[in-house]
Amino acid sequence: CTSSDNTVVLLFNTPPNADAGSDVTLNCTTTSIQLSGSSSTITGSLGSYNLVETTGSGVIMGDVHAGNNVVLNGTDMTGNITAAGSTGTVVSVGGVITGNIDANGDINSSGTITGTVTHPIGTTYSGTVPGGGEIIGTPNIPVLPPPPADPLLISNATGLPAAPTP
């Protein structure tokens, strides 16, 4: 899936399990992965070169990595969040996050974070005190993998297939 500017959007690790209420939309216009669906449960890590966003309540059991922003609206999550964007609010979460958040920009939480929140000097964290504390320093953000020549694409799928075996 590429946008008009040829930016590639991927599910880096296709979630092996999703309940019947899940709906995954790859929004190529804004180069994002958008997860929608009420009471969805996604098991597996997600990644995008730009944005990972949820638009409904649900649960993610895995890490979320974004080259720019992460927006989890009312989503509970067990896993870590990383966001490499550096302008404005790059992570916005509104559920219970059982894990750490590392971001290069501002972080906003209207929910609960049990782990640490790490962001650089000159950026801010807004929300309840994280269980593991706030660290102002260098966030631990992984380098995203290069796109494969023929990525697996899912658009408006109900339920997701298991990742292919080698």
- Least-confidence region, from 27-31, 46-50, 125-129: 27-31
Asked if residue 113 has pLDDT above 90, the reply is: yes
Residue 32's alpha-carbon distances to 2, 10, 67, 123, 137, in angstroms, are: 10, 8, 10, 24, 27
User: Looking at the domain assignment, is residue 109 inside a domain?
Assistant: yes
Q: Report which of residues 7 and 39 the model is more confident about.
A: 39
User: Looking at the domain assignment, is residue 146 inside a domain?
Assistant: no
Bridge partners, 105 (sequence order): none
User: ∠ CA(152), CA(154), CA(158), 5° rounding?
Assistant: 140
Using 50, 70 and 90 to split pLDDT, how confident is the model at 148?
low
**The total number of structural domains that make up the chain:** 1
User: Looking at the domain assignment, is residue 2 inside a domain?
Assistant: no
- The answer to whether the pTM exceeds 0.95 is no
User: Looking at the domain assignment, is residue 98 inside a domain?
Assistant: yes
Q: What per-residue confidence (pLDDT) applies to 42? A: 77
User: Looking at the domain assignment, is residue 157 inside a domain?
Assistant: no
Mean pLDDT of 58-75: 90
